[in-house]
Amino acid sequence: MAQQKIVVGIDGSDGAKAALLWACEEARRQPGTKIIAVSSWMSSMPQMSPWTAGYDVPLDLSEATAAELKASIAAVMSDRFPDIEVEERVVCGSASAALIDQGVTADLLVVGSRGLGGFKGLLLGSVSHQVVTHAPCPTVIVPHRDGQPAANYTALRSIVVGVDGSPNSIAALRWAAQRVHKSETVLRAVYGWLTPPTAVAPIGTGIPDTFIKGAAEALDGFIAAAELPDDVHAVPVSREGSPAKVLLMEGRQADLLVVGARGHEGFVGLLLGSVATAIAHHAPCPVAVIPVK
């Protein structure tokens, strides 16, 4: 792979630290990768607000944000990644807008599933949702579960890719193939499909073999369309069931789930399809979302 540029969103939360740790491990797997840690700030009051009169309200939080960013990086890096350089960038503005803007020149955006501003019950925070919906480059969402070390998410032994034959899913399969090139990582191309409602089979006989065989043949065609490198083998996995449910089940044994931002069933005007949304919100492992081209 060519040199990568990875942008990571940092806000001091455990989720952001997990995202930085994942990015560092990715950089270790791809020597020469450049990591840019981005932290943003917004003043709690407008500079011309009458409420600031007579009060010592900090209007410029860049120094404080820079100090917090440096502390977060130090907490993750320590002596674990001596050969990886992280560039620090402090930006004034909303976190999602800053990350999306930085993603224009990045190869990969990495964010935690939920930052400091998120409600505890939410699986995906507002910033990570906006970033994965509008990012101009592939985005990885690293989950943070209470009590589970972030290091559990950094291995890359198995990658699961959702494939349905759409151009975006083919792009997702190609992107994943780059991660397994010259490695021992197992790549699984997963196709979740539903029996046509017109198919009528006697009760208790199960799914007709013709549909099972047809789905398997369709998946083989999807993999062939990706034209993967000769040394990359994608294990075909065809399962009857809704695509999101099938992928989430397969993701239980994966270190990374990869999906296109929108598959065949997505409406043209949508930037993020229902399957990608479900995976981003509920996946048990990091999720890579490949944007619509």
CA-CA distance, 9 to 132, in Å (whole number)? 12
Q: If phi over 0 gives left and psi between -120 and 50 gives alpha, with beta otherwise, what is residue 222? A: alpha
Indicate whether 264 and 202 sit together in one domain: yes
| Look-up of token digits 């803007």 | 101
| 108 and 239, same domain (yes or no) | no
Starting at the edge strand found earlier in the chain, the sheet holding 108-112 runs: 86-92, 34-41, 5-9, 108-112, 139-142, 287-290, 256-260, 158-162, 186-193, 234-240
How many DSSP H helices and E strands does the chain contain?
A: 8, 10
Burial class (CB in 10 A: 0-12, 13-18, 19+), 99: buried
The verdict on 127 and 21 lying in the same domain is yes
Same domain, yes or no: 162 and 126: no
Q: How far is Cα 98 from Cα 40, in angstroms, rounded to an integer?
A: 7
Say whether both 42 and 140 belong to one domain.
Answer: yes
| Predicted structure pTM score | 0.85
Mean pLDDT of 202-221: 80
**The predicted structure's pLDDT at residue 31:** 84
Contacts with 91 (C-beta within 8 Å, 6 or more apart), sequence order: 38, 39, 40, 41, 98, 101, 102
Torsions phi, psi of 121, nearest 5? Answer: -75, -15
Average per-residue pLDDT in the chain? 82
Statement to judge: residues 40 and 105 lie in one domain: yes
CATH number for the domain harbouring residue 143: 3.40.50.620
Cα-based torsion angle of the residue sequence 84, 88, 94, 98 in order, rounded to the nearest 10 degrees: -60
- If asked whether residues 283 and 258 sit together in one domain, one would say yes
**Which domain, by its residues, includes 203?**
158-290
What's the total number of domains in the chain?
2
Q: What is the mean pLDDT of residues 185-191?
A: 95
Tell me the pLDDT tens digit for each residue of 255-276: 999 999 865 554 444 456 788 8
Residue 102 lies in a domain: yes
pLDDT of residue 151: 56
Phi and psi for 40 in degrees, rounded to 5? Answer: -120, 160
Which residues, in sequence order, are CB contacts of 274 under 8 Å at separation 6+?
244, 265, 266
Same-domain status, 139 and 184: no
Instruction: Among 101-105, 239-243, 261-265, name the one with the lowest average pLDDT.
Output: 261-265
Examine residue 55 and state whether it is found in any structural domain, yes or no: no
Window from 195-204, 216-225, 233-242 with minimum mean pLDDT: 195-204
Residue 87, in any domain of the structure? yes
By three-state DSSP, how is residue 147 classified? Answer: coil
246 and 232, same structural domain? yes
**Among 121, 137, 153, residue at a domain's last position:** 153
Q: Would you tell me how many other CB atoms lie within 10 Å of the CB of residue 251?
A: 24
Among the candidates 153, 182, 201, a domain finishes at: 153
Beta bridge partners of 36: 7, 87
